[in-house]
Chains A and B, each alone.
Chain A
Amino acid sequence: MAMEEIVIRVKDVYKSFGRQKVLNGINLAVERGEITVIIGKSGSGKSVLMKHLIGLIKPDRGEILVDGVDITRLGESQLNEVRKRFGMLFQEAALFDSMTVEENVAFPIREHRRFSDGEVGRLVDEKLRQVGLSGVNEKMPSELSGGMKKRVGLARALALDPEIVLFDEPTSALDPVISLTIEDLIKKTQTRLKKTYVVISHDILGMFRIADKIAMLYDGEIVAFGPPDEVRRSDLPAVKEFLEATRIPGFAGGGAELAG
């Protein structure tokens, strides 16, 4: 890659809840047009870090720069302007359960664009097709399976063609086969749309497959950062521990070299 550009830069971010230190000086740079995956154990502060990126939580200390603008200093209305450039897929998809699938995907479009009903409908169909869904427009979220909810959530996150999409544990609570299709979907949409994706996950095997960069979160700090191959060869105990826990011989990311 000739020119690398940093879209999101996290600088020395600290955050504690009460006496519990969650983020302990995070530094991270997310490059434009790449999939950056933040890997960490459950409870390591991944979700907290992600919520910082979109201004749902303010850090105790440090800066979060989106295209050079420190979003921790913005007021609510300026922050909303920045948020319009983001899309986010929540862990449980967070679909509005009082609305149908179609209304869910149409929701951000109707709120932020002035399109006719026909145009909105066409756009919704297009977004649903992008995530491999059709004929579910009139269903309620409660009628969908976990994997389908995630797809609808992704369609909604992509509805306004955001520049940056955040994924909170996209494959947790899904069976391995569905996980694989969601991973492929993430990779496929990213390759086609050339957006910046930030994914947090503890599913190290799956994420090594789709990531351009891996950031390893441990004890509130990013202890390893780089392309998957580089991180895989790392000698850091935290990384080794994680890889060994998911060691399945013959799998990508499995510990053939660790198995010794």
Chain B
Amino acid sequence: MSLKDHAKKLFTPVGTFAAEFGGIWIMFTTAAYLTFRRPVRIDAIFKQMEFIGVKSLWVVIVTGGFTGMVLALQTYYGFRRFSSEGLVGTTVALSMTRELGPVLTGLMVTGRAGSAIAAELGTMRVTEQIDALTVMALNPVKYLVVPRVLASFLMLPILTVISDFMGIVGGYFVGVKLLGINEGIFTSRMVKYVDLEDIYNGLAKAACFGVILAVISCYKGFNTKGGAEGVGRATTEAVVVSSITILVADYVLTSLMF
């Protein structure tokens, strides 16, 4: 291999990554701009809110509940060594509101709705339905992306509230009912150490994750190439890239917020 080939091998992935990142960023700014342009498609937004939000309810309830439960169990065995079982409630509540509620909701909705968005838009791309919109003088980003991004932005915080609540209920159930931690200590310490700000910051993160997963899934769907196989690839990439981006963004946002 010549030097040129080596250089090519080295720089092609960098170029691809930059192009991808740029494409996602352009889709985000376009969607953000078009959100404030008429006409506002209220019914399309509600339809997406139902799909992304309401239909993710059970997934989020189960995930949140069991995460709270296992968290209580693990921290109980840890804290018992220092005789500080009373802090289990605080730990569960802080972990859920600040971290696990938003992140797990983001990841679960990515798996459920992000993949579906990428598959639906990808199919529309390969069957020329997106071109058909353009030919009809309608902006496909306005028509397809804006309602999904907006719905995801609005629904993720709501789902996170439910996830937080379920996590704390799960933690309470395991800690107080199963492991016998004093109920008064469990709740009073939780109330004392968890601020509203913890919850708000968690919800702000959730809203960001909502935008991230919707924009990336739409981007992957929009740029699908090559038939059924391409749709499959787009769906996988949407989930992988969204999940990784959510985790990276989580670190960045957390370090900025707290």
Across the interface, which residues of B come within 8 angstroms of A111, CB to CB?
136, 138
Are B138 and A86 within 8 A (Cβ)?
A: no
In Å, the complex CA distance between A88 and B127 comes to: 14
Q: Which residue of A90, A95, A112 is within 8 Å of B137 (Cβ)? A: A112
Q: Do residues A84 and B137 form an inter-chain contact, with CB atoms below 8 A?
A: yes
A69 at the interface (CB under 8 A from B): no
Q: List residues of chain B with CB under 8 Å of any chain A CB.
A: 123-124, 127-129, 131-132, 134-139
CB pair A83 B127 closer than 8 Å: no
Complex: how many Å from CA A90 to CA B139?
Answer: 18
**A contact set with B: CB distance below 8 Å:** 51, 54, 56, 76, 80-81, 83-84, 86, 88, 90-92, 94-97, 107-108, 111-112
Q: Which residues of A contact B127 (CB under 8 A)?
A: 92, 94, 97
- B136–A90 touching, CB < 8 Å: no
A residues less than 8 Å from B139 (CB atoms): 76
Give the distance in Å from the alpha carbon of A173 to the alpha carbon of B124 in the complex.
19
Residue of B123, B128, B138 near A90 (CB, 8 A) is B128
29 sampled A-B residue pairs with Cβ under 8 A = A54-B135, A56-B131, A56-B134, A76-B139, A80-B137, A83-B134, A83-B135, A83-B136, A83-B137, A84-B137, A86-B135, A88-B135, A90-B131, A91-B128, A92-B128, A94-B131, A94-B132, A95-B129, A96-B124, A96-B129, A96-B132, A97-B123, A97-B127, A97-B129, A107-B136, A108-B136, A111-B138, A112-B136, A112-B137
Q: How far is the CB of B106 from chain A (nearest CB, A)?
A: 26
Q: Which residues of chain B are within 8 angstroms of A96 by Cβ–Cβ distance?
A: 124, 129, 132
Residue on B with the closest CB to A95?
A: B129
The minimal Cβ–Cβ distance linking A253 to chain B, given in whole angstroms, is 29
Q: Which residues of the partner chain A approach B129 to less than 8 Å between Cβ atoms?
A: 94-97
B235 to chain A, nearest CB (A): 17
Q: CB-nearest residue of chain A relative to B132?
A: A94
**Could you say which of B123, B131, B132 has the most chain A C-beta atoms within 10 Å of its C-beta?**
B132
A contact residues around B134 at 8 Å (CB): 56, 83
The answer on a CB contact under 8 Å between B138 and A88 is: no
Q: What A residues does B132 contact at CB under 8 A?
A: 88, 90, 94, 96
Instruction: Tell me, in angstroms, the Cα distance from A54 to B131 when the chains sit together.
Output: 10
Task: Give the distance in Å from the alpha carbon of A51 to the alpha carbon of B131 in the complex.
Answer: 9
A56 touches B135 (CB 8 A): yes
Closest approach, in angstroms, between the C-beta of A82 and any C-beta of chain B? 8
| Interface contacts beyond A92-B127, A94-B129, A97-B127: sample of 14 additional A-B pairs, CB < 8 Å, sorted by A | A81-B137, A86-B135, A88-B132, A90-B132, A92-B128, A94-B127, A94-B128, A94-B131, A96-B132, A107-B136, A108-B136, A111-B136, A112-B136, A112-B137
Least Cβ distance of A48 to chain B in Å?
13
Using CB atoms, name the residue of chain A closest to B133: A96
A56 to B128, CA, bound (A): 11
Contacts of B137 in A (CB 8 A): 80-81, 83-84, 112
How many whole Å from B132's CB to the nearest CB in chain A? 4
Q: Cα distance A83–B132 when bound, in Å? A: 11
**Nearest Cβ distance between residue B222 and chain A, in whole angstroms?**
14
Interface centre among A83, A94, A107 (most CB of B within 10 A): A94
